[in-house]
């Protein structure tokens, strides 16, 4: 075929028209325009490009309730409960939908921040809060710091204030390590991971992580650009923060969580799996993970802990008491294998994965609901007697030993079964909060094309807690012990983490370059 007639390497279907966004309370000034988003260069281009695409497809929801304006800011930075609407019940499952858009903005420092920098950081965060409501309809901004940051400070100061785990007397903040199924030296090699997704994982070395969240993509983009040096916020000239420490933005990752949005993006991108994605799901794989029962109260995952959960030596009033570990990873999703060609051709000419298989990859065996007997593929292929066609299913806890029981009894393990090996208390309460969701960009791809991905972040009581949880989810030990087929190994063959880093998200009262005032 002549080159001029060759199909595009990254095909894009003709954009479809989108419904207009739901009106919302006006905000002083003019947020960033779509044209501005598209022409911005640098480390924030990826996130802004995704936000620009989403401006045509994402609706700005009209939330059912807003927080009382007199509500004080919580000391737990990531506690959005007082400012978020109540959960909505779908098919009997309470679902708490987060802000539609999130951008994870990473940065490095050239040197140790000054005491003046500490004041500048606090001033910058307060400037955002003064110009946008602290609500889904406005902007939530959190800031966290890595071990690279703390290594710039006197070790004696850090050691005196850093909580330690009760189980192993380890610092709660440690560098991230590759998970057992990541592409890394010495790790188990997944034979079914396709070459396109055989991307080595990178342990990042940023200093600072900003998490910027809101329902309107233009507002999120406005704040991201301002933090990155635009000197404009809500349409006005407002100086961006400048630090003696020399902050440099290194990456930006946009995440979107809204019912039907993954299907919309898949269709407009002309993907092979578009018609398989459940249009009632907020997630790429067709199953919501925003169940209320799947996340802990914010106070439970802090270093101080709550409700009988206390995993570190932090005490009330100590410097980092209401802090937690925030893990950030970037995960490529092989949705073509998950939906279209994941079955062994030796089993027959139809290689598509039916709902019955996909629901067991995600949750448990046996499946919690039955597939559509007439068509287990189109629009997810879930049960038509459920309003959301299987997109909203219960996050059932069968105990920490169910993954092994499932491996023995059914010869397979679901992702949720393996996750539950160490992520909950003995009585079934989660000890983590996920803030993950779909992404769609070209970061770390081998093709250079926009690719479906999971932008994963979450809050945990310690870095060791997360690494143990992720290792147990990988379940390589059970895969080998019971000689299971790799295709029945949860979600591992469909996911490839390309970046990981741990951060400490301090209490709000110490959110601006923590410990600097004590140097």
Per-residue model confidence as pLDDT tens digits over 353-410:
999 999 999 999 999 999 999 999 999 999 999 999 999 999 999 999 999 999 999 9
Q: Mind listing the pLDDT tens digit for each residue in 45-62?
A: 889 989 988 887 888 888
Q: What are phi and psi of 480, to 5 degrees?
A: -80, -40
Q: What is the pLDDT of residues 14-46, one digit of tens each?
A: 333 333 332 222 333 445 554 444 344 578 888
In angstroms, the CA 139 to CA 348 distance is 51
Burial of 291 (0-12, 13-18, 19+ CB in 10 A): buried
Strand partners, 317: none
What are 297-332's pLDDT values in tens digits?
Answer: 999 999 999 999 999 999 999 999 999 999 999 999
Strands 93-95 and 88-90: antiparallel
Q: Which long-range contacts (CB under 8 A, 24 or more apart) does 118-123 make?
A: 118/512, 118/513, 118/516, 118/517, 119/512, 120/241, 120/242, 120/243, 121/241, 121/243, 121/511, 121/512, 121/513, 122/511, 122/512, 123/241
Which pLDDT score is estimated for 141? 98
d(CA 367, CA 354): 12
Residues of 450-464 as b/e, b for ≥16 C-beta within 10 angstroms? bbbbbbbbbbbbbbb
Q: Are 252 and 328 in contact (CB under 8 A)?
A: no
Helices (H), 88-135: 115-131
The pair phi, psi for residue 150, each rounded to 5°, is -65, -25
pLDDT above 70 coverage of the chain, percent: 91
For helices 115-131 and 217-227, angle between their N-to-C axes, nearest 10 degrees: 160
Is residue 217's pLDDT more than 50? yes
d(CA 186, CA 417): 25
Domain ranges of the chain: 32-518
Distance of alpha carbon 103 from alpha carbon 415, whole angstroms: 26
CA distance 458 to 502: 10
**For the chain, how big is the Rg over CA atoms in Å?**
22
């Amino acid at each position: 075929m002549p080159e001029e007639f060759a199909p595009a390497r990254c095909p894009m279907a003709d954009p479809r028209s989108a419904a207009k966004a739901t009106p919302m309370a006006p905000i002083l000034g003019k947020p960033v325009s779509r044209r501005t988003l598209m022409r911005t260069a640098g480390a924030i281009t990826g996130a802004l490009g995704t936000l620009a695409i989403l401006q045509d497809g994402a609706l700005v929801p009209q939330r059912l309730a807003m927080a009382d304006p007199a509500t004080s800011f919580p000391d737990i930075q990531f506690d959005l409960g007082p400012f978020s609407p109540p959960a909505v019940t779908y098919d009997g499952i309470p679902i708490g939908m987060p802000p539609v858009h999130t951008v994870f903005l990473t940065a490095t420092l050239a040197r140790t921040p000054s005491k003046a920098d500490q004041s500048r950081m606090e001033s910058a965060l307060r400037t955002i809060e003064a110009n946008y409501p602290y609500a889904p309809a406005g902007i939530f901004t959190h800031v966290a710091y890595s071990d690279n940051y703390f290594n710039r400070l006197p070790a004696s100061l850090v050691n005196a204030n850093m909580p330690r785990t009760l189980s192993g007397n380890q610092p709660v903040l440690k560098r991230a390590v590759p998970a057992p199924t990541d592409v890394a030296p010495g790790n188990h090699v997944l034979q079914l991971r396709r070459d396109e997704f055989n991307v080595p994982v990178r342990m990042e070395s940023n200093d600072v992580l900003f998490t910027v969240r809101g329902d309107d993509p233009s507002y999120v983009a406005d704040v991201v650009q301002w933090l990155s040096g635009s000197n404009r916020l809500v349409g006005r000239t407002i100086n961006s923060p400048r630090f003696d420490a020399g902050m440099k933005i290194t990456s930006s990752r946009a995440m979107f969580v809204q019912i039907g949005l993954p299907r919309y993006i898949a269709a407009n991108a002309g993907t092979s799996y578009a018609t398989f994605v459940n249009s009632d799901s907020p997630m790429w794989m067709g199953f919501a993970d925003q169940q209320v029962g799947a996340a802990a109260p914010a106070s439970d995952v802090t270093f101080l802990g709550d409700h009988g959960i206390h995993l570190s030596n932090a005490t009330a009033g100590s410097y980092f008491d209401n802090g937690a570990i925030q893990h950030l990873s970037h995960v490529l999703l092989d949705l073509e294998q998950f939906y279209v060609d994941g079955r062994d051709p030796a089993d027959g000419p139809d290689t598509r994965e039916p709902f019955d298989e996909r629901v067991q990859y995600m949750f448990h065996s046996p499946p919690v609901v039955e597939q559509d007997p007439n068509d287990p593929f189109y629009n997810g292929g879930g049960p038509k007697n459920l309003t959301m066609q299987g997109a909203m299913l219960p996050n059932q806890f069968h105990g920490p030993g169910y993954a092994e029981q499932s491996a023995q009894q059914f010869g397979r393990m679901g992702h949720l079964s393996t996750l539950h090996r160490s992520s909950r208390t003995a009585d079934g309460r989660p000890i983590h909060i996920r803030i993950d969701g779909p992404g769609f960009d070209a970061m770390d791809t081998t093709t250079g094309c926009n690719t479906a991905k999971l932008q994963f972040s979450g809050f945990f009581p310690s870095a060791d807690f997360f690494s143990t949880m992720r290792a147990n989810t990988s379940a390589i030990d059970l895969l080998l012990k019971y000689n299971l087929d790799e295709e029945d190994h949860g979600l591992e063959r469909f996911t490839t983490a390309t970046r990981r880093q741990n951060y400490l998200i301090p209490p709000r009262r110490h959110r601006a370059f923590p410990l600097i005032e004590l140097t």
